[in-house]
Amino acid sequence: MQKKSLSWSVMACAVAGALALSGCTGSGADSDAAVEQKLHFGFSAEAPALIAGADQGASGMMMNSLLHRGLVAYDEKGEVEPALAAEFEQVAANEYRFVLREGLTFHDGSPVTLDNVKATYKYYADPGNGAAFATAFANIDSIEEGADGEFTIKLKQNNGVFLENLADPNTPILPDSALNKSVDNVIGAGPFTLGEKVTGVGLTVEHFDGYYESGEVALDEIQITYYKDSAARVNSLLGGDVDIIDYVPWESFAQIEDASGFSLTSKDGPGNQMHFNTNVAPWDNPKVRQAVAYAIDREAIVNSVFYGNAKPIYGVAVEEGSEYDIPEATAMWEYNPEKAKKLLAEAGYPNGFSSTMLGTSQYEFSQDITISVQSDLKEIGINLELELTDFPTMVEKLGACDYATNGGGAVVSPVTDPSYLLSYVTGKFIYHPCGYENDELTGLLQSGLAAETDEERLADYKKAFQIIQEEAPFVQLAQRGQAFGVSDKVKGFEMLPGFKVSMSGLNFTNVTVQ
């Protein structure tokens, strides 16, 4: 397929005029776009330079969902399905069989081989490379080749969510050239290839004819325009400049639902949290962290930040109605400022103290949460000076442990099993509190993940929940509803459920524009 050039002047005009619904002509007035199957997407963040295996937030997840694929992936219901592997099965507690599709290529034309699978997973397994699921890949004991594209992955110990780890868009199969943290990881085997990219404005991705289900992907091109301002993003949709937007601000849910020719697609999604650099006093003191857990008014966050479109978290987020939806997980703390003050006094800070809190101004809701937390903590004597940056800068500072506390943290995971908490208590994940390690807690979460019976798994997780309650290395705040705004001429788009909503870019393969 020939490359198409972007109308950058139109895109720039759309960004500039969205706040006023002014007269740039976008997809709403371009009938040829529908014939051409060109989707105009108003995106909430600038695409980062992609780092192999790393979790780079929602923007990185979106780009990986478009450009890359792993052996397996998630379908529109959030179930694991074949991807680069034509078939797969679990043949034993710690053994999985795959068959690699024939004739696969990366975007640069090089073949996708079993050697790429081995090299990619070996790279992810090295904790020094910063892969989000380094522990899961380090648990691979062997990859053994069979006949006709068949191979077997054996694990050192059982991992009840191994297939989910492989399905995560941040852990795709990559060419050798991408296995380097200094390389922009844009050459994949996904449904779209990277076209033109203009810093601060947007980019295009174009249909990849070599994709294993190329014939089932209707879109020729997705033109992505950055709208960091939430009001501008909404106006770009309602004004016809784009066909779909992500991160609909919560105050605009009803506006889009009520608008003729548009719909709101919403799911319970990721959560938000505060966490601490335990290398920095007084955040190395568990009683100080517990005081924070009791001091924050989560209901106020739900109502003032999310306009009621969220659920407070008083412990750790678990799947509603699951065997883990128990008080040990969901009722660790409560809103109790007096108890918070008592804990501070016991920690040696009866008059409080001053510190700093990192956050991001790029997402208005995240900024508002940080301000709400600052206000609540001031009531118990903790005075926090805010450092609000754009999202990439916040991620960089988190990775460098250049913060005291962070109010812009997210609760995200491709799995609903409590083993997702491993990333928050050990490893290189950006929301793992710097300096915090607890071998007993890590061991219990790993043991629960590897357990052969539900009873053993639940027993381990209950003990882990107790340690989290006592040590409060992070404080989860609220699980938010998350939504896309969609023009009625866009058909086939569905959001993935729960923590997987940030992976909804996987479903652009099902979209048509009418």
Q: Whole-angstrom Cα distance, residue 286 to residue 333?
A: 14
Q: What residue ranges define each of the domains in the chain, with the CATH number in brackets?
A: 8-64+187-267+482-513 (3.40.190.10), 68-178 (3.90.76.10), 269-480 (3.10.105.10)
Looking only at the bridges linking them, the beta strands covering 192-198 and 202-207 are: antiparallel
Q: Are 263 and 488 in contact (CB under 8 A)?
A: yes
Distance CA 369, CA 387 (A): 13
What does the pLDDT average to over 78-105? 96
Q: Look at residue 18 and tell me whether its pLDDT is greater than 60.
A: no
Return d(Cα 328, Cα 332) in angstroms, integer: 6
pLDDT in tens, 438-450: 999 999 999 999 8
pLDDT tens track for 188-216: 999 999 999 999 999 999 999 999 999 99
Least Cα distance to 188 among 63, 45, 41, 87 occurs for 63
The number of CA neighbours under 13 Å toward the Cβ of 513 is 25
Which residues are CB-contacts of 241 (< 8 A; sequence separation ≥ 6)?
A: 14, 17, 18, 24, 26, 27, 28, 40, 42, 225
Instruction: Provide the b/e sequence for 117-130 (b: ≥16 CB within 10 Å).
Output: bbbbbebbbeeebb
pLDDT in tens, 118-175: 999 999 999 899 888 888 899 999 999 999 999 999 999 899 889 999 999 999 999 9
Report, in angstroms and rounded to the nearest whole number, the Rg of the chain calculated over CA atoms: 23
- The stretch 249-278 carries a mean pLDDT of 94
The rounded distance, in Å, linking the Cα atoms of 58 and 49 is 13
Q: Output the pLDDT for position 15.
A: 52
Rounded to 5 degrees, φ, ψ at 241 are -75, -30
Is 311 within 8 Å of 302 (Cβ atoms)? yes
Q: Is the pTM of this model over 0.85?
A: no
Q: Average model confidence (pLDDT) for the chain? A: 91
